[in-house]
Amino acid sequence: MNKKVTPGIVLRSMCFFVGYVTTAIAFAIPGVLLYPFSFRWRYGFISHWAKFNIWWLRVTCNLRFEVEGRENIPAQACVVLCKHQSAWETLALQCVFPPQVWVLKKELLWMPFFGWGLAMLEPIAIDRGDGRKALKSLLTQGAQRLQAGRWVVVFPEGTRVPVGEQKPFQIGGAKLAEHAGAPVVPVAHNAGVYWPRKSFLKFPGVIKMVVGPAISTEGQKASAVNAQAEAWIREHSDRLLETPNKPETKN
């Protein structure tokens, strides 16, 4: 999946990065001031940062996205199990799904500006060094968020995984769904082809996201639900890599 790096790619990536960081600061400060207001107000304001940057990505880097399977998104709050390849999906999911919270490592909340904004969105921040405590926090806080009508996003691989590689799915997300009686919605995409893991560069093209049919947890163990989600995400992730969208080559 190696792509040709041109001066135009570097320049456009730099322009995106400047806007990405600048707007993170611009949104974080007033976002913190919205702390006394309801989650709906805070989320409504701060999520516009993600939507702006998806638009900014198209303007600066000629990188856009398409979604297949929007009709599979249920009306009720669900647990989203999503492939994790880059930072792109943390932005794009906010453009596709209803108001949501994320399961993330608590260290992210310590980051200046970015972490402050995250904290205002009531994420489920866990200590990965204490597996038992982390699972308990996920089940307790996750059930509360779902009951309040908020979707819960989990990256079951636990970290960003390079394109073409796979990591075993951790069972926490499926455990939460079983515990709360909520469906699981699997999501696959090929963002890592265009916005590589741990890379400054962004390549032009069309990222494809696929939303799968909801997996019911009724009468199923978390292990079975997790296996179904993993199989579906792997199958569709592989499909997207076999037939990638033709990149747009404007330089």
249 part of a folded domain: no
Instruction: Tell me, yes or no, whether 79 lies in a domain.
Output: yes
Listed residue (147, 142, 47) closest to 99, CA to CA: 47
- What proportion of the chain, given as a percentage, has pLDDT over 70? 95
Task: Give the Cα-Cα-Cα angle 51, 55, 56 (nearest 5 degrees).
Answer: 110
Residue 213 belongs to domain with CATH number:
3.40.1130
Residue 249 has pLDDT above 70, yes or no: no
Tokens of 25: 């600061």
Which pLDDT belongs to residue 238? 92
Tell whether 1 is covered by a domain: no
Closest by alpha carbon to 79, among 127, 170, 150?
150
Q: Is residue 64 part of a domain?
A: yes
- 140 found inside a domain: yes
Side-chain-side CA neighbours of residue 178 (13 Å): 14
In SS3 terms, 38-64 reads as CHHHHHHHHHHHHHHHHHHHHHHHCEE
Per the structure, the count of domains in the chain is 1
C-beta of residue 100 within 8 angstroms of C-beta of residue 123 = no
Q: Is residue 2 part of a domain?
A: no
In a domain, 213, yes or no: yes
Give domain status of residue 38, yes or no.
yes
Pairing, β 205-211 against β 151-154: unpaired
pLDDT tens per residue, range 154-171: 999 988 999 988 899 999
Instruction: Specify the 3-state DSSP secondary structure of 223.
Output: helix
pLDDT exceeds 90 at position 205 = yes
Q: What is the pLDDT of residues 41-85, one digit of tens each?
A: 999 999 999 999 999 999 999 999 999 999 999 999 999 999 999
The pTM of the full predicted model, rounded to 2 decimals, is 0.90
For 234, the domain range is 7-242
